[in-house]
Chains A and B, each alone.
Chain A
Amino acid sequence: MAWFSKKPRIATAPEPIEAPSRMQGLWAKCESCDEIIYRQELEKNLNVCPHCEHHLPWTARARLASLLDPDSFEEFDKELEPQDPLGFSDSKKYKDRLRSTRKALGENDAFISGVGRIEGKPVSIGCFVFEFMGGSMGSVVGEKVTRIFERAHELKCPAIVFSASGGARMQEGIFSLMQMAKTSAAIARFRNVGKPYISVLLHPTTGGVAASFSWLGDIILAEPKALIGFAGPRVIEQTIRQKLPEGFQRSEFLVEHGMIDAIVHRKELRAKLGQLVTLLG
C-alpha cells in the first residue's frame, strides 16, 4: 500500500453518539443536518436546531407550557382512558399496547387539553401527543377534541388545537372513524359563538385527523416543513406508481396551493397566537 493512501489516524471526527440517545442524554443529534447539539441549548431553542432551523419534535407538555402565559395551563379530561371496544389484536393485543405505551409515556392517550391564557386572554386549547401510537385518534382523542370546542363555546373564548397525527386509530375501528364526524359537528356548533378556532398543523398531520377538525380552523397555521395531507406519501406512491416530487405535501407546498394561511416559525408561534387572540378574541 502506497504511503499516501494510508488512512490518516487522527483526522476523522469521532463517531457521533449512537442513535438511541438522540432524544435522551446530554447531547442530541439534529435529524436534518446531523449536527450534534447540546441538549440544554436545543431545549432553550424550543427544540429547533440552532444550525439548520429544522423543527424537531417537541413534547405536548413543553409546547403548552411554553406557548401559554406562565403557569396558566389547567388540564381537563385527564382522567379519560381508552378502552378496547373491538377486542383488537394484531401482533400484540391492543390492550397490552395501550398499557405499555401509557406506562412508558405517563399519558393516558394521545392528546392533552385544557384551558390557559395567551396575552392574558383565556383559550380552550389542546395538543396531540405524537409519541403515543403516532398520535392516532381513537375515542379518547375524539372526545377530548370535542370537549375543547364545547368548553370554548361555554367560555366564549378562542379554541386552539395543535395537530400531529397519523390519522384515525385502526385498533378502535369504526369508532375512530366516527370521531371525525363528532369533532367536526362540534366545530359547526362552535362557529355560532363568534370566536376563532386556530388550528396549528405540526409534523406530521395526515389521514382522518387532517380530514376533519384539523382542516376546519378559521385560521390554519403550520410549522415549517411539516408533512400535511390526506393520504400518506407511501400510499400515494403505491397508488400512482411514481416518485413524489421534493417538498410535496410540506407546509410550503400547502401555502403555495392556498390550503393553509401561513407558516410560522416555532419561535414566533407564541407572538402570532397572541396577535390572533388579541385581534379576534
Chain B
Amino acid sequence: MANGINYPLDFERPLIELEKKIDELKALSASGSVDFTSEISKLEKKAKKLQTEIFSDLSRWQVVQLSRHSSRPYFLDYVQYLFPEFMELAGDRRFGEDPSIVGGFARFDGRTVMLIGHQKGRNTKENMARNFGMPRPEGYRKALRLMEMAERFGKPILTFVDTPGAYPGIGAEERGQAEAIAVNLEVMSRLTVPIIATVIGEGGSGGALAIGVGNRVLMLENSVYSVISPEGCASILFRDATKADKAADALKLTAKDLKGMNVIDELVPEPAGGAHRDHAKAAENLAKVLRKNLAELAQLSGDELIQDRYQKFRALGVFSEGR
C-alpha cells in the first residue's frame, strides 16, 4: 500500500519507506535471481510493529493531519464503493451550482436514499473546482433542496461531512452565508425522514454542522469535528498560528474525544494505518455502521424521528443551574 499515497505525512514516512523496501525485495524475488522470502517476512513483521507503534498513540494534531490527508477517501470515493447507482442532482434553483457539496439519490441495500456530502479535490485543479470543500450559500441551499425533496418522497438522508468550513468570501457574504447555514439547521431538525450524518474527515464548524443535524452522528476514527480549526484557535487565543498542535489538544476535537463526551453516537473504525491506506476497507466499515443505524431508525415514525433528533440536540450543553 506504500504506492498510491501522495504526500505522506511526516510521522508515517518511516513506515512508507520500509514498505517501499519490501516492495523492492518482492520485485527482486519475483524476478527469480535471489530468494528474499525470509528477509521479506522479517521486514513485514517489522513494518507491522512500526505501524502499531505509530498509530496506537497518535497525538490530536496527528489525527487532524490524518483527517486532512490528501489520499484520504472523500465523499465521492465512498459513493463509488457503496452506491454504484448514484444519480447526482445539481443546483440550488436560486443562484448557481456549488461543486463543493454533492448530492443525489442512490440505492443502499435495495432502498432509495438521499446522499449529500462535502467534496474536496485531490489536486490543485480539482481543489479549485471544489473550492477545497468550502461551500458557498448555493451549496447549502442545494443541500436543503435535496433534503426537502427526500422528505417528500420518504427517503432517508445520509450526509457525509468533510470541510474546513463554509467559505469566507465576498460573494458568499452578499448571498447570505449565515442565513443559508441557519436555515439548514432549522429545517434538518424537523424533517420526518431518518438522517444519519457521518464525519468522514474534517468537521469544520458551522459549515460542517449545516449538513450535520442527524438522528445519528457518526465519525470515522481519524476524523475531527470542531467549533474552529486548530490554526484559527491558535492564532486567536495563543496569538500564534504555529501552536495549532496545542490548540488541537485544548479543543479536544477527535472522534474519540467526542465519543467520550457523548457528543457523537458512534465511531467507525478505520483500517490499520488510516482510511487512506485502504479505501475499500474503510468503505466496508462505514457501510456496516450505516446499515445498522438505518435499520434502527427505520423503526421510528416521522414524529418519533423529529422527537428523537430534537431531544438529542436539546440535551447538548454543559452548565450548572446554581442555587
Interface residues of A (CB under 8 A from B): 79-83, 85-86, 88-91, 108, 138-140, 142-143, 146, 168-170, 172-182, 184-189, 206-208, 210-216, 229-231, 235-236, 239-240, 244, 248-249, 257, 259
CB-CB under 8 A for A229 and B316, given A174-B253, A212-B182: no
In-complex Cβ contact of B179 among A146, A189, A259 (8 A): A259
**Which chain A residues lie closer than 8 Å to B251 at the CB level?**
86, 88, 170, 173-174
In-complex Cβ contact of B238 among A90, A108, A211 (8 A): A90
**Which chain A residues lie closer than 8 Å to B313 at the CB level?**
178, 181-182, 185
Interface residues of B (CB under 8 A from A): 166-170, 172-179, 181-183, 185-187, 189-190, 205-206, 209-210, 212-213, 225-228, 232-233, 236-239, 250-253, 258, 261, 263, 309-310, 313-314, 316-323
In-complex Cβ contact of B317 among A81, A182, A187, A212 (8 A): A182
Is there contact, CB below 8 Å, between B173 and A229?
A: yes
**Which chain A residues lie closer than 8 Å to B236 at the CB level?**
170
Is there contact, CB below 8 Å, between A215 and B178?
A: yes
| Minimum CB–CB distance for A112 against chain B, Å | 15
Is there contact, CB below 8 Å, between B316 and A175?
A: yes
In the complex, the 4 A-B pairs of residues with the closest C-beta atoms, listed nearest first: A231-B168, A139-B317, A185-B189, A79-B322
Is there contact, CB below 8 Å, between B314 and A259?
A: no
Is there contact, CB below 8 Å, between A248 and B173?
A: yes
Select the residue from A180, A210, A236, A249 with max chain B CB neighbours within 10 A: A180
Q: Which residue of A lies closest to B315 (CB)?
A: A182
Cα A19 to Cα B232 in complex, Å, equals: 30
In-complex Cβ contact of B320 among A80, A182, A215, A229 (8 A): A80
**Which chain A residues lie closer than 8 Å to B170 at the CB level?**
236, 240, 244, 248
Is there contact, CB below 8 Å, between A208 and B206?
A: yes
Is there contact, CB below 8 Å, between A181 and B209?
A: yes
In-complex Cβ contact of A229 among B178, B213, B237, B239 (8 A): B178
Is there contact, CB below 8 Å, between B314 and A185?
A: yes
Cα A10 to Cα B146 in complex, Å, equals: 72
Is there contact, CB below 8 Å, between B226 and A173?
A: yes
Cα A57 to Cα B24 in complex, Å, equals: 69
Inter-chain pairs besides A169-B227, A181-B212, A211-B182, 9 sampled, C-beta below 8 Å: A89-B250, A91-B239, A180-B182, A182-B316, A206-B178, A208-B227, A211-B166, A215-B176, A235-B232
**Which chain A residues lie closer than 8 Å to B227 at the CB level?**
168-170, 172-174, 176-177, 208
